[in-house]
Structure 1
Amino acid sequence: MTPQPKAILLDIEGTTSSIAFVAETLFPYARAHLADFVARHPQETAPILAQVPGDPVETLLRWIDDDAKETPLKTLQGMIWAEGYAKGELKGHVYPDTPEALVRWRELGVPVNIYSSGSVEAQKLIFGCSVAGNLTPLLSGYFDTTTGPKREAESYTKIAAALDLPPAEILFVSDIQPEIDAARAAGMQALLIDREGGAGDVATLAEVLP
């Protein structure tokens, strides 16, 4: 019998928030503001640009177009988005069932953590400046690509260690099958969410620990 999870780990795109928001709002915003942001913040961005091959700005723009999971890009995108959220030009999308689920799980005493390819800073911005208000008080921890790739089992082993829990006591929810496979390979419980009502284990977060 599957044990009741003692912690939940959530993906963002396609799980708590729409893929369209990231692809059609966040990425274009970062692309449009990247060169100007770098020019205005030379000291803050210099260590990031030093990690990027070739012409850093051109490479970063290409990485955006390719949706590359490169940590320097994710870090810089987070900085650009922070400015956009602060100006009120961006609001983080979350599905209506997301805040409801976060509240329900908190009442059950199950802490919720986030694992996304977006930087921890970007994750906090989506939930802190969301269309449903500040949801960060309902979240316990954040993990990004500095922990490791989301399609490798070792990354989930590291997260379990960071949470000080056996992998079997953590439930991971994502819309990407290879991520689900990696989490299960590490020993975690995992559910594939398909918000189109397809072949997933659940269609909404309302079905997770109802």
Structure 2
Amino acid sequence: MVVLSVPAEVTVILLDIEGTTTPIAFVKDTLFPYIKENVKEYLQTHWEEEECQQDVSLLRKQAEEDAHLDGAVPIPAASGNGVDDLQETIQAVVDNVCWQMSVDRKTTALKQLQGHMWRGAFTAGRMKAEYVLMLAQTFHQPQTQICFSKNRGVRQRGLVYSEFFLLLSVQLVDGHFDTKIGHKVESESYRKIASSIGCSTNNILFLTDVTPEASAAEEADVHVAVVVRPGNAGLTDDEKTYYSLITSFSELYLPSST
């Protein structure tokens, strides 16, 4: 087994999710289909709740910004003229969400609604997260923080209801970051993450399966390792040579704090 020694100055492990901690197939075959199959029921059930209305408001604002895009679906404001009008509005939200997903949009509005829906599904036991390997065993060191780089809602609940471990219950997860702090292919996002944690970018090790994200992190002076999982996008020969590669978190060696 190849062992990658983590630099002594690293005090924060920043983890991507899809393709890094969990199989990409779980996202494509379970998480995304759940949204498409259940978004209408979810909206009808939670429509009067403040959180749902905030989600819809954000989606409507995004739809206005997307009006110039081919196939974009507008979301009209409900006029309050009865059940039929409400159902038309809900259907517009459903159509907008499905359109965004069909063209692989990464908008904060879409991710926020998805996160709330997945959180509810995990809480109700309708879904279990397929997180791989024992992160707790690998990263359980007092001096090392663990942070995740996407979608607070689903990731938190997914970890709580994982079949493998209860990271949050033993307080091993110290933070979650989503697109509100910036996109993962922008180096400034990693500087903001470091600032919010209260450390230097050089104190962070970022694990990801996406090389443009790795490149952006490196530009911000973040340590990087690329995680190779079945189903992930292939790497070029140059990328295989340039980046430190791991296939399991157990291949990381974290120096002891003592």
Letter in 2 for 1:49: V
Q: Structure 1 residues 60-69 or 15-24, which shifts more?
A: 60-69
Letter in 2 for 1:9: L
Tell whether 2:188 aligns with 1:151.
Answer: no
For residues 107-122 of structure 1, the aligned pairs below 5 Å read 107=141, 109-116=143-150, 119-122=151-154
Residue equivalent to 1:129: 161
Give me the whole-angstrom Cα distance separating, in 2, the residues matched to 1:68 and 1:128: 27
Residue equivalent to 1:202: 246
Structure 2 counterpart SS, 1:138: coil
**Which structure would you say has the larger Rg?**
2
Give me the whole-angstrom Cα distance separating, in 2, the residues matched to 1:94 and 1:180: 21
How far off its partner does 1:3 sit?
Answer: 4.1
Tell whether 2:90 aligns with 1:58.
Answer: no
How far off its partner does 1:108 sit?
Answer: 5.4
How far off its partner does 1:4 sit?
Answer: 3.1
Give me the whole-angstrom Cα distance separating, in 2, the residues matched to 1:71 and 1:24: 22
Structure 2 counterpart SS, 1:190: strand
Give me the whole-angstrom Cα distance separating, in 1, the residues matched to 2:99 and 2:216: 28
Residue equivalent to 1:172: 206
Report the identity percentage: 29
Counterpart of 1:30 (choices 24, 29, 35) is: 35
Letter in 1 for 2:152: V
| 8 Å contact kept, 1:153–1:186 | yes
Q: Work out the number of aligned pairs and report it.
A: 205
How far off its partner does 1:133 sit?
Answer: 3.7
Residue equivalent to 1:138: 172
Letter in 1 for 2:247: A
Give me the whole-angstrom Cα distance separating, in 2, the residues matched to 1:188 and 1:99: 22
Counterpart of 1:182 (choices 199, 213, 216) is: 216
Give me the whole-angstrom Cα distance separating, in 2, the residues matched to 1:172 and 1:37: 34
Give me the whole-angstrom Cα distance separating, in 2, the residues matched to 1:130 and 1:168: 31
For residues 92-103 of structure 1, the aligned pairs below 5 Å read 92-101=129-138
Letter in 2 for 1:184: E
CA separation of 1:195 and 1:108: change in aligned 2, threshold 3 A: farther
Q: Structure 1 residues 129-138 or 25-34, which shifts more?
A: 129-138
Letter in 2 for 1:86: T
| 8 Å contact kept, 1:171–1:191 | yes
**CA distances 1:120-168 after superposition (whole Å, capped 9, x unpaired):** 0111011111111422122111111111111100100000001111101
| 8 Å contact kept, 2:133–2:249 | no
Tell whether 2:25 aligns with 1:20.
Answer: yes
Structure 1 counterpart SS, 2:140: helix
Structure 1 counterpart SS, 2:212: helix
Question: Gaps (5+ residues) in structure 1?
Answer: none
How far off its partner does 1:2 sit?
Answer: 4.7
Residue equivalent to 1:10: 15
The TM-score, its normalising length taken from structure 2, stands at 0.74
Question: Gaps (5+ residues) in structure 2?
Answer: 1-5, 64-73, 75-91
CA RMSD of aligned residues (A): 2.0
Residue equivalent to 2:44: 39
